[in-house]
Amino acid sequence: MPKLTEKPIQEISIADINNNFKNIVDYSAIVIQKMSIQISSAFNYAVINGIVKNNPFAIKGAIIKPKKDDKKKIVALTVEEQQAFVKELQKYHEPYRTILFIALYTGMRIGEIFALSIDDIDLDNKVIHVSKTLTKDQNDKVIIGSTTKTYSGQRDIPIISTLYGILNSYEIDHTSTLFTMNDKLINQSIINKLSF
């Protein structure tokens, strides 16, 4: 976090924290919330260990966080945009081509796709069983979580005929997870680095 990390915690004032939040007004609400939790947790730790006397976040109205409305309108691809995307995907290499086809034709989150096992793909009944997602352990290592991001995220998704052909021809390696790289789970952030 800018500036706050450059000072010892006992020198950080309420004004410093509020200025930090002013500098991140363009961040998403979830990022702002996570930053707030991290800073407050650091102060709680410092209070417990006698480094500071109190946590500014415990003082009502002291910390002013940016108000964000993350309820943005989701706009679907036009038919022409989807056709152009599919055309580009045909040129792309595996496993990313199949991963992005699944995302396109099911609406699944990338973490859910990367957590799919061979048993989750039921080609006989033309359904994908979504029951878990990728997460990170206490050492920041990517692991498969025991459930989806939310309880309602556990669901069965029909496999449309276009996706059926893609999944049916996808060559699965010896691991039980559908998508791996060098026998390791793929970090979902890699999708943001792909170029077409």
Task: Write the pLDDT tens digit of every residue in 91-140.
Answer: 888 888 899 999 999 999 888 998 898 889 999 999 999 988 888 777 77
Range with lowest mean pLDDT among 53-57, 77-81, 127-131, 135-139 = 135-139
Total-model pTM: 0.59
* 127 secondary structure, DSSP code: E
pLDDT single digits (tens) 6-23 = 889 999 999 999 988 888
Is residue 73 in a domain?
no
pLDDT of residue 1: 46
Query: Residue 125 is part of which domain span?
Result: 79-193
Is residue 170 in a domain?
yes
Same domain, yes or no: 40 and 112:
no
Same domain, yes or no: 113 and 41:
no
Q: What percent of the chain has pLDDT over 90?
A: 38
CA angle 142–122–79, rounded 5-degree value: 80
Same domain, yes or no: 54 and 146:
no
Is residue 83 in a domain?
yes
CB 73 within 8 A of CB 153: no
Same domain, yes or no: 47 and 87:
no
Is residue 96 in a domain?
yes
Same domain, yes or no: 97 and 137:
yes
Same domain, yes or no: 9 and 104:
no
Residue 24 corresponds to which tokens in the numbers above?
A: 């991140």
Residue 139 corresponds to which tokens in the numbers above?
A: 């050492």
pLDDT single digits (tens) 29-38 = 778 888 888 8
CA angle 99–143–117, rounded 5-degree value: 45
Is residue 63 in a domain?
no
Is residue 182 in a domain?
yes
Residue type, 18: N
pLDDT of residue 177: 75
